[in-house]
A and B are shown apart, each in its own frame.
Chain A
Amino acid sequence: MVELNKSLFEYCLRLGDSSLIAGQRLAEWCGHGPILEEDIAMTNMSLDLIGQSRTFLTYAGEIEGKGRTEDDLAYLRDTMEFRNVLLVEQPNGDFAVTMMKQFFFSAYLFLLYKELSKSKDTTIAAIAAKSLKEVTYHLRHTSQWILRLGDGTEESNQRTQNAVNDLWMYTGDLFDMDAVDAELIKAGIACDLNKIKQEWQAMITEILTKAKLTIPAPDVWMMKGSRTGKHTEYLGYILAEMQTLQREYPGAKW
């Protein structure tokens, strides 16, 4: 039971941290969106993701049993302790990069939450079922943008293709599994990522093909490491900005 709780804590951090960092990245667009409507759309998605993160991190704190709250976990951990997937910490780049990143991640969460809504852990199942509605919309919004950007002008097609090429190497990390996954899959709690990988590739292929974009070769080198806290250089900067207030004024309230 102790071992299982350790794995469950780790698993909830992976889910919570991925949504948190994705939400933080999208929030960077607040006030900078290409049009008012899209500015609001991106911050809406950001708030959805941060909401998901809050529930997963709160649950992680309960499982750990050391009295850590969602805020303690979000604001008082360092880079190596974060378990978000590498994809979501990548820079926003231009609008095409942001949409592609969010499209890849939304398709992933859509399939992941669909599976997790059947989890034997009732808390995870409930969070996943609620979050599934949110990411279903994110997937609709981002895939519609990919279609328009890819099949738009010569420039928008080129920028969107560059986004695919630059982000592709971080998509392997989404499906990376270790002993934590193995243990929780056996207990009927976690999702076997091998099962959703094919479906994810099919979804991505369908939209990218329709958008007149080329998918990189499947054997391209993939960067991994999020499961053990090995991140790209970008996460540190995100945390520096996100955590600065709690670090400078611990326990500050307003």
Chain B
Amino acid sequence: MEENKNSTQWDLWEVFTQKRTGAPHEHAGSVHAPDKEMALQNARDVYSRRGEAINLWVVPSAAIVANQPEDVGNFFEPSNDKIYRHPQFYKLPKGVELE
């Protein structure tokens, strides 16, 4: 992410919320904040005020590495036509139930 030196906005942080013990932390959205304590508090106020979370993670958005849109072809398409990557060619032993 390119940093805009003239920006008066605070840094952006991504917020992840955990809904119950053992559940994965899921992306909830983002907040602006000047530092990590305020990012955590802003995340608490914006994304858990209706009891949606029991745990919060905040991560600087700049720390997230994402592929570029033009990577889609060589990243994801090769797996589309290889059905043998899916474990559906095995005979299941008796007594094993498929969901």
Contact = CB atoms under 8 A, between A and B. Distances in A.
The finding on whether chains A and B are genuine partners in a shared complex, rather than unrelated, reads: yes
Chain A interface SS verdict (over half): helix
A37 interface: yes
14 contacts: A35-B32, A37-B31, A37-B32, A37-B33, A37-B42, A38-B42, A40-B45, A41-B45, A44-B49, A137-B44, A141-B41, A141-B45, A144-B41, A148-B34
Interface residues of A, number: 12
Contacts of B45: 37, 40-41, 44, 141
Given A35-B32, A148-B34, A40 B46 contact: yes
Interface in A116-174: 137, 140-141, 144, 148
B38 interface: yes
Contact of A41 (B10, B34, B42): B42
A168 B37 CA distance: 28
Interface string B1-33: 000000000100000000000000000000111
Contact of A40 (B34, B38, B49): B49
Closest 10 CB pairs of A and B: A37-B42, A41-B45, A40-B45, A44-B45, A37-B31, A40-B46, A44-B49, A141-B41, A37-B46, A144-B37
Given A37-B31, A41-B41, A137-B44, 13 more contacts: A35-B10, A35-B32, A36-B46, A37-B32, A37-B45, A38-B42, A40-B45, A40-B49, A41-B42, A41-B45, A44-B45, A141-B45, A144-B37
Contacts of A36: 32, 46
Interface in A23-74: 35-38, 40-41, 44
Contacts of A35: 10, 32
Contacts of A41: 41-42, 45
A137 B32 CA distance: 19
